[in-house]
Amino acid sequence: MRRPEAASGPSRTPAARASARGEAERLWSVAVDRPIERRSGIRGALVYPAKRVLRKLMSWYVGPFAAEQRSFNAAALRLSDELSVQIDELRVLQERENAELASEVRALEASAGARASALAEKDAELERLLEELQQRLLRLERRPRAAPAAAPASTASPAPAPEGEPDYFAFEARMRGSTEEIRERQRGYVDDFRGREPVLDVGCGRGEFLQLMREAGIEARGVDIDSDMVAFCRGEGLSVEEADATSYLAKLPDGELGGVFCAHVLEHLQPKPLLRLLELAHTKLRPDGLFVAETPNPRTLVSLGTFFADLSHAQPLHPETLSFLVRQAGFRRVQVRYLNPPPPEGRLRPVPLPEEAALAGANAVLDANIERLNEVLFGPQDYAVVAHA
């Protein structure tokens, strides 16, 4: 025997149940005294009296069955009503539980996202610390050891810095970034120095720029006053001298260099040695030699926020001030390049207003003000002065 098919989805909706309940209400009462339809014609005239007689004869027998059927139908309707109420209550309960479950899922997703973000930050911090430790270990390995006669009973490395002076190698490894990051930031200068050999990197640090020059086949050497930086660079096979930059430049013949590069050096100098360095750079460059100096951009707060973290910084240099000093030292065709803007997600975002004619002017002013704020707060973090001798 074929089983009846289950009701389809729409028949189980409240509207479908209400329609079925109305039909059941209309048909639930079963009775034997319903009106007898009288048909036309001779057959109708003969059958109608017979139906009336038969109903009277059978009503005593069929009546109890009809009454029981009515009782059954009424009970079934009451049960259906109770089930419908329970179904509605269960539906409301299920919807409430679904809403609560969805809220818990959203909370768990938010928590998981926050934990994932925290873990990513910790991973990045661990990678940075690992890079720092690797560089500091290399620094220890590359330090020149003391002569046995000077310290026969000691195998320790020399002290990293005299008392009262910071360990600048460790500071740069932590605060400035990895050598890979700095190399990528300075890669844009490579084309500027093609055909301008030899190039001198003043304050070469860990030698990122010198490595770029070597990869590009451009003759370059460096000078730095920090012995750890010099040892690190020499361990990379780079040509670097340990000396004060002004003293080193003063000993060079005039016009010997084709290019001078110094990244994040000038902000460490007081005005008098700064002017002396600029004058020497101009004197030691041949005609049309290139001078490039990169320094933090004090016109934006995001750069000033980290500028004074370095205890060796003397003062920030405004782009117009440095451009003036470079021209005063004898350079020409002075250009300023702004570099290293913060990521877009770190800047203020425009606030869209409803597209109404009355608000068009306000929307334009608001966007312009946000852009001005972004330049003041989150503008390029560095700039470079590019000049020709």
Q: Where are the alpha helices (DSSP H) in 176-300?
A: 179-186, 208-216, 227-235, 245-251, 271-284
pLDDT at res. 174 = 59
Domain 190-388 has CATH 3.40.1010.20: no
pTM above 0.85, yes or no: no
pLDDT at res. 250 = 96
Instruction: Give ∠ CA 171-173-174 in degrees, rounded to 5.
Output: 65
Query: Taking Cα atoms as reference points, which of 214, 188, 203 lies closest to residue 384?
Result: 188
Q: How far apart are CA 258 and CA 289, in angstroms?
A: 5
Q: How far apart are CA 231 and CA 240, in angstroms?
A: 9
Domains of the chain: which residue ranges? 16-105, 190-388
pLDDT at res. 325 = 97
Contact in structure between 314 and 267 (CB atoms under 8 Å): yes
Strands (E), the chain: 199-202, 220-224, 240-242, 257-263, 285-296, 332-339, 382-388
For residue 312, report the phi and psi dihedrals to the nearest 5 degrees. -85, -5
Q: How far apart are CA 123 and CA 117, in angstroms?
A: 10
Contact in structure between 243 and 214 (CB atoms under 8 Å): no
pLDDT at res. 375 = 86
pLDDT at res. 121 = 79
257-263/220-224 β-pairing: unpaired
Q: How far apart are CA 238 and CA 222, in angstroms?
A: 8
Question: What does the block give as tokens for 113?
Answer: 């996202």
Other Cβ atoms within 10 Å of 268 Cβ, number: 16
Position 345: which residue type?
E
Other Cβ atoms within 10 Å of 351 Cβ, number: 9
Q: For residue 329, what is the DSSP state?
A: T
Q: How far apart are CA 28 and CA 74, in angstroms?
A: 7
Q: Identify the three-state secondary structure at position 2.
A: coil
Instruction: Give ∠ CA 323-328-333 in degrees, rounded to 5.
Output: 55
pLDDT at res. 122 = 78
pLDDT at res. 347 = 85
Stretches where the chain sits below pLDDT 50 are 1-11, 146-164
Query: Taking Cα atoms as reference points, which of 178, 79, 176 lies closest to residue 128?
Result: 178
pLDDT at res. 168 = 59
pLDDT at res. 364 = 79
pLDDT at res. 268 = 93
In the block, tokens 């969805």 appear at: 102
Q: Identify the three-state secondary structure at position 23.
A: helix
pLDDT at res. 28 = 61
